[in-house]
């Protein structure tokens, strides 16, 4: 296995490190071709590389041109945003009458309404008192430039809020399919804290959420700036993730085994369902499901269709897997025995929105991080 990326480290420029996950050639997870597009779909190397100098996990290379569509915002993400703003406000980080700037992402809705209700006004272009980035920084191919842009957008006495799916949770859950083209970096909290420090900021608060198995929100201010701090919470996060070995290539490389185990388990489950003549559909044409379906070699013969609430994806198909994407309304008419849910955080929402699945005798099956049938609601 080649230990070098195509390009130097996206943060520190070093060239020495380790490939910790190699998914081979994969279609771009943001490219959902039209249903009548015959293909073949282009594929590209998909590898996670861990820098031996700074410890940043990142894409080893990415020759794609990401144009990730904004999907429908899950209820779990909306609820987490409300919780996050409430906790940040309670920590004294949202100055009444201050300004806010948001760096957007295709993975989350805007926090501006919530922050407006907390007494902030959107910045007119000048550095803001509060800068929020929710799952956005990972889309910057040049990580140093991307973080520097966010720091520059923060007023001298302001606070920068960075939310990310922590690498510690990805490794602990075996969430290998978090790796995808267009997502250039995967942050362990100790690594991101050091990145902030290099640009003159101190991580002053750390908030941990259950979303995606472990989502962290770091608050940071410039060194020497007065303001509230909760170093105990930050230190607890740093110590916990360091103890988990998030910068140890041998530990992070456990994702390779998880990829094989997870993909094999899903294929075996679908083959068993086909043999038992159970009808199966999927839900959520999420980008994380693209490498899973392709790694497992699953096509429409095992999974005839996947429903998704995003109008921009309906009438299209999965790249590589060639599985059609349908509207949610079509699920009830097919009365499936099973619905495979590709985003576990959506389970409660989908059971509420699509009660007809279980009312008709069907079962939800979650696949992330492990394949399991969900017991019927009582």
pLDDT tier, 109 (very low <50, low <70, confident <90, very high otherwise): confident
With 50 as the cut, is the pLDDT of residue 1 above it?
no
Residue 342, C-beta contacts closer than 8 angstroms, at least 6 positions apart: 282, 283, 284, 285, 286, 288, 289, 292, 306, 367, 368
Tokens of 118: 């907390």
User: Per residue in 248-272, pLDDT tens?
Assistant: 999 999 999 999 999 999 999 999 9
The pLDDT score that the predictor gives to residue 132 is: 98
What's the CA angle centered on 307, arms 301 and 308, to 5 degrees? Answer: 140
User: Per residue in 60-80, pLDDT tens?
Assistant: 998 876 554 545 678 899 999
User: Per residue in 28-53, pLDDT tens?
Assistant: 988 899 999 999 999 999 999 999 99
Domains and CATH numbers, the chain: 75-244 (3.40.50.150), 254-373 (3.40.50.720)
The pLDDT score that the predictor gives to residue 67 is: 55
pTM value is: 0.92
Residue 110, C-beta contacts closer than 8 angstroms, at least 6 positions apart: 102, 104
With 80 as the cut, is the pLDDT of residue 178 above it?
yes
With 60 as the cut, is the pLDDT of residue 169 above it?
yes
With 60 as the cut, is the pLDDT of residue 247 above it?
yes
Top-confidence range, 24-28, 215-219, 288-292, 344-348:
215-219
The pLDDT score that the predictor gives to residue 6 is: 61
């Amino acid at each position: 296995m080649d230990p070098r990326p195509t390009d130097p480290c996206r943060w520190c420029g070093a060239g020495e490190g380790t490939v910790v996950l190699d998914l081979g050639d994969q279609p771009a997870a943001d490219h959902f071709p039209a249903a009548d597009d015959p293909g073949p779909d282009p594929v590209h190397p998909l590898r996670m590389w861990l820098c031996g100098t700074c410890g940043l996990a990142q894409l080893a290379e990415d020759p794609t041109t990401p144009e990730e569509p904004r999907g429908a915002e899950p209820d779990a993400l909306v609820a987490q945003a409300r919780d996050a703003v409430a906790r940040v406000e309670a920590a004294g980080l949202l100055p009444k009458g201050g300004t806010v700037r948001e760096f957007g992402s295709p993975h989350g809705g805007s926090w501006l309404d919530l922050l407006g209700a907390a007494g902030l006004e959107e910045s007119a272009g000048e550095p803001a008192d509060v800068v929020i980035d929710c799952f956005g920084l990972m889309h910057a191919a040049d990580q140093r430039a991307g973080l520097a842009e966010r720091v520059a957008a923060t007023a001298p006495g302001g606070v920068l809020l960075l939310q990310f799916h922590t690498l510690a949770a990805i490794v602990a859950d075996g969430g290998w399919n978090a790796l995808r083209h267009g997502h250039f970096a995967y942050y362990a909290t100790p690594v991101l804290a050091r990145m902030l420090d290099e640009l003159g900021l101190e991580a002053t608060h750390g908030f941990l959420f259950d979303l995606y198995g472990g989502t962290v929100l770091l608050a940071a201010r410039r060194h020497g700036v007065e303001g509230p701090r909760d170093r105990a919470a930050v230190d607890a996060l740093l110590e916990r993730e360091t103890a988990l070995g998030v910068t140890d290539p041998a530990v992070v490389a456990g994702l390779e085994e998880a990829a094989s185990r997870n993909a094999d388990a899903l294929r075996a489950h679908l083959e068993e369902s086909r043999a038992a003549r159970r009808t199966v559909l999927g839900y959520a044409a999420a980008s994380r499901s693209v490498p899973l379906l392709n790694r497992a070699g699953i096509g429409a013969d095992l999974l005839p269709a996947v429903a998704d609430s995003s109008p921009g994806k309906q009438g299209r198909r999965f790249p590589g897997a060639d599985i059609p994407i349908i509207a949610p309304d079509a699920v009830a008419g097919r009365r499936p025995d099973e619905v495979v849910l590709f985003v576990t955080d959506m389970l409660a929402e989908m059971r509420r929105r699509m009660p007809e699945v279980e009312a008709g005798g069907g079962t939800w099956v979650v696949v992330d991080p492990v394949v399991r049938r969900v017991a019927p609601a009582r």
